[in-house]
Amino acid sequence: MKSNRVTLITLGVKDLERARTFYEALGWVAGQAQTGVVFFDMDGAKLGLYDLAELAKDLGRAPEDLGVGAMTLAQNFSTEAAVDAAYSAALAAGARPCKAPEKVFWGGYSGTYADPDGHIWEVAMNPFWPMDEEGRLA
């Protein structure tokens, strides 16, 4: 089994229903309902939304020690137009803009936004990372 893979990303959220509504407005489809957590399928992995206080308790930390925005999650797209569309959809769903999509120094095109809990997402087109028909990095 490969060791360099991620199978679950869990985001601590202050309001689970608000977070679920945001991601569903982006077109994400939640899996089977479970108490206190929402999971979205990500082509072999999962994105979980979990109450921040409960996540902190599970981790043995105080909620204020967890923080947000110190990392980015990213979605890559095959065109700049698709990046622009994803960024606009996120803002329409309630995201806060961080950096509008633009050409960047490394040769690609990207922008960033924060979800309602402050988790930072990048939407990008990277000409050096081809994508397959399913939208996975090749």
Q: Which residues are paired to 48 by β-bridges?
A: 10, 39
pTM higher than the cut 0.85: yes
In-domain check, residue 137: no
In-domain check, residue 92: yes
Secondary structure class of 91 (helix, strand, coil):
helix
Same domain, 76 and 120: yes
In-domain check, residue 138: no
Show the domain range for 54.
1-60
* pLDDT tens by residue, 54-89: 999 999 999 889 888 888 999 999 999 999 999 999
Cβ–Cβ < 8 Å for 137, 129 = yes
Find the CATH number of the domain harbouring 117. Answer: 3.10.180.10
Task: Look over the chain and give the mean of its residue pLDDT values, rounded to a whole number.
Answer: 93
Same domain, 78 and 116: yes
Interior angle at CA 134, CA 130 and CA 138, nearest 5: 30
Number of domains in the chain: 2
* pLDDT tens by residue, 87-121: 999 999 999 999 999 999 999 999 999 999 999 99
Report the alpha-carbon distance of residue 36 to residue 83 in Å, rounded.
32
Nearest Cα neighbor of 47 from 8, 74, 86, 5 is 8
Same domain, 80 and 128: yes
Position 3 scores a pLDDT of: 80
